[in-house]
Amino acid sequence: MREERVKRTKTVCTYCGVGCSFDVWTGGKGGDRHILKVEPGEGAANNISTCVKGKFGWDYVNSEDRLRKPLIRERSAEGDRFREASWDEALTLMAQRLTQIKAEHGPDAIGLISSSKCTNEESYLMQKLARAVVGTNNIDNCSRYCQSPATQGLFRTVGYGGDSGSISDIAQSGLVMIVGSNTAEAHPVLATRVKRAHKLHGQKLIVADLREHEMARRADIFFRPSPGTDIVWLSALSRWMFDNGHAKTEFLSQWVNGVEEYRKSLEPFTMEYAAKICKVPLETLEKIAHEVAATESMCILWAMGVTQHCGGSDTSTAISNLLLVTGNYMRPGTGAYPLRGHNNVQGASDFGSMPAYFPGYDKIADDEARERYEQGWGVKIPTAKGLDNHEMVDAIYEGRLKAMYLIGEDMLNADANANYVGGGFERLEFFVVQDIFFSETCRYADIVLPASPSLEKEGTFTSTERRFQRLYEVMEPLGESRPDWRIIQEVANRLGAKWNYSHPADVMHESAGLAPMFAGVTYDRLAGYKTLQWPVAVDGTDSPLLYTKEFHMQDGRAKLYPMEWIAPCETEGDEYDLHLNNGRLLEHFHEGNMTYRVPGIHAETPECFVEVSPELAKEQSLVTGQWVDLGSRYGQLRMQVLVTDRVSGKQLYLPLNSKEHPVNLLTGSYTDRATHTPAYKETPVKMTVL
């Protein structure tokens, strides 16, 4: 009789940046790959909680659709097809083609994109592959699609791009302000902490959003600023604090530069101006101002409702400015909380998969940093900033980028203006995609490499609160799939490197030796449920609160950054008269590649829909279930209507999780001015009732 084994393995959830940890029990009659249960352990972020995705969202690992072998495109007059290949054949071809393209067009003709779903160690290796082996800084990751503007706003004002405190600190706050974040569905366990503090401990909650989601309904004050105008009311609040004697002048004189120049830039931002531009009643804005002035401690949470605009970085800056003006940094329960969407969107950037930064945010242009890496890696590193994701697509059209190596990202569905992105992929001379499923993007690839998801590998993730956590191998890789770090190493060696990492711990060890921010990060210090929050000193002292003795600026002082409001790039007009917003559903993760393959979860939300307000439904004689065509300047989508008072007036809302109804057929190519994050939230559409 076969022996039934049961195994318990600690892992970290991959469905959002909260970073819940739990034990996965596998085995029993179903065998080693059978998941018996997911049991929340002692995770620093979640304690004993999970949400529906973390608890039930894992059956995709055994999906029939998993890629099990490398695939190579075979071209023929009758039409291309993919055939299975050995690893040796696929990697040999990849090395030949990349070498040839580099010889003909130079290293900058090749672009690499790492993944916010991959581990820190994998992101480190991907950027090392780009810089040290290919010889280009054309390396980026999918934080370009979401949170780069938040990081930029914090770089400008306080120095580090991460959350300024820990998730558990939020409960100590007297006032939580949530701007452009559907926290209850996108970061559920973190939202539970806010709900508890609000309900049981009298914490005040103010929510600014276009849509009346769960947190909005719970809020003490909920208001709907016009799309793309958050910077105006945030700056008006700052001005009101100065004008009414509520700015924290002692804090400002001790810790903050640029006060006078900033105040001058606030001249236009009166409350009356904000009320007019944002279309929010003046009384509401004044009520908010009084609440902010009255509280001892405030933190602000924000997400893609802020960042995915042409002014995403500027609005993120305005948030940090307001926190500085009101003295809300340097104490638990205060500060900036940009909420990271992917599980490792923080780590992918932290570990240098960015065109202008090494791991730990040392600048490529910084001679000392570059020489440190050149010595460590034994190579010369290019000095010029590389291309970001957005620039890579444009560079393909311009004939400058000939080849791409993309891992862990269904870029066709994730990037804005999918038709444009797909057209770019078609123009590539050579394209390698590495993923766990045959995604929409794979259709354009020359080689598809089968990777292993988080349950099949070891490594670390860094959550939204800058927290390193270990994940352990729950089960062996399926079929011939391999962990990304092994594949990247093999690619590097086929291109002439001599890497010899036997475990991700070796990679972390190397990175900790090169990036001062991670100096004390070791696998011993991360064993089991142990965690560290960066920056981590050599002796292992970590940083639950980011700013205690100083800000991360050259002179230790923060900076108030002057403000200017620039209208959204695209607004509604006569033809495209409705504003389309988009975001997550509780049950699904991004484009749905993983969660749609979990039958229990998919059954909960089988159809995609567009939310329509009762007013608009009445005007157009629409009822729930009716079909409509949505059209933008960039594409078309046929959807079913859901009439709901979550949205109002001419606002529409579309979940971004559907492969059958990809919202990015409608979004355009405008981007945040500072970071090139697509302005997904600035999409005018027209609706035709069928």
**Chain positions contacting ligand SF4, by CB under 6 A:** 13, 15-16, 18-20, 46, 50-51, 53-54, 187-189
With respect to ligand SF4, which residue has the nearer C-beta, 189 or 563? 189
Task: Quote the longest CA-to-CA distance of the chain.
Answer: 81
Nearest-5° angle of CA 580, CA 586, CA 591? 60
The residue behind tokens 């120049």 is 261
- Measured CA to CA, the distance from residue 580 to residue 561 in angstroms comes to 30
Tell which residue, 98, 121, 123, has the closest CA to residue 113: 123
Q: How far apart, in whole angstroms, are the C-alpha atoms of residue 591 and residue 594? A: 8
**Closer to ligand SF4 by Cβ: residue 187 or 467:** 187
Q: Return the number of the residue (46 or 664) whose C-beta is nearest ligand SF4.
A: 46
Residue 179, H or E segment? strand 175-179
Q: In degrees rounded to 5, what are phi and psi of residue 582?
A: -150, 160
Q: Choose between 457 and 584: whose C-beta lies nearer to ligand SF4.
A: 584
Smallest gap, in angstroms, from Cβ of residue 170 to ligand SF4?
A: 14
Least spacing, CB of residue 388 vs ligand SF4, in Å? 26
CB neighbours of 472 closer than 8 A, spacing ≥ 6? 9, 10, 11, 458
Nearest alpha carbon to residue 680 among 568, 574, 564, 567: 568
Closest CB to ligand SF4 among residues 401, 436: 436
Tell the smallest beta-carbon distance from residue 37 to ligand SF4 (Å): 14
Report, in Å, the least distance between residue 152 CB and ligand SF4: 24
Residue 589 Cα distances to 137, 433, 449, 582, 666, angstroms:
30, 20, 22, 13, 20
Q: Give the shortest CB-168-to-ligand SF4 separation in angstroms.
A: 14
Comparing CA positions, the residue from 452, 443, 414, 684 lying closest to residue 576 is 684
Of 15 and 547, nearer to ligand SF4 (C-beta) is: 15
For ligand SF4, the closer of residues 348 and 396 by Cβ is 348
Cis before 678 (ω within 30): no
User: Between 18 and 643, whose beta carbon lies closer to ligand SF4?
Assistant: 18
Q: Which two tokens stand for residue 325?
A: 């003006």
Residue least distant from ligand SF4 (Cβ): 54
Give whichever of 50 and 417 is closer to ligand SF4, judged by the CB atom.
Answer: 50
Distances 10 to 7, 232, 453, 638 between C-alpha atoms, Å: 10, 45, 15, 42
The CB-of-167 to ligand SF4 minimum distance in angstroms stands at 10
With CA atoms as reference, report the closest residue to 142 among 347, 301, 375.
347
Q: Tokens at residue 549, please?
A: 């003795």
Q: Residue 43 Cβ, how far from ligand SF4 at the closest point, in Å?
A: 8
Q: Which is nearer to ligand SF4, 54 or 335 (CB)?
A: 54
Residues paired with residue 559 on neighbouring β-strands, in sequence order: 257
CB of 189 to ligand SF4, least distance (A): 4
| Residues 593 and 410: beta-carbon distance below 8 Å | yes
Report the nearest approach of ligand SF4 to the CB of residue 667 (Å).
Answer: 24
- Is-contact 241 326, C-beta < 8 A? yes
**Alpha-carbon gap, residue 471 to 457, rounded angstroms:** 8
State in angstroms the smallest separation of the CB of 22 from ligand SF4: 8
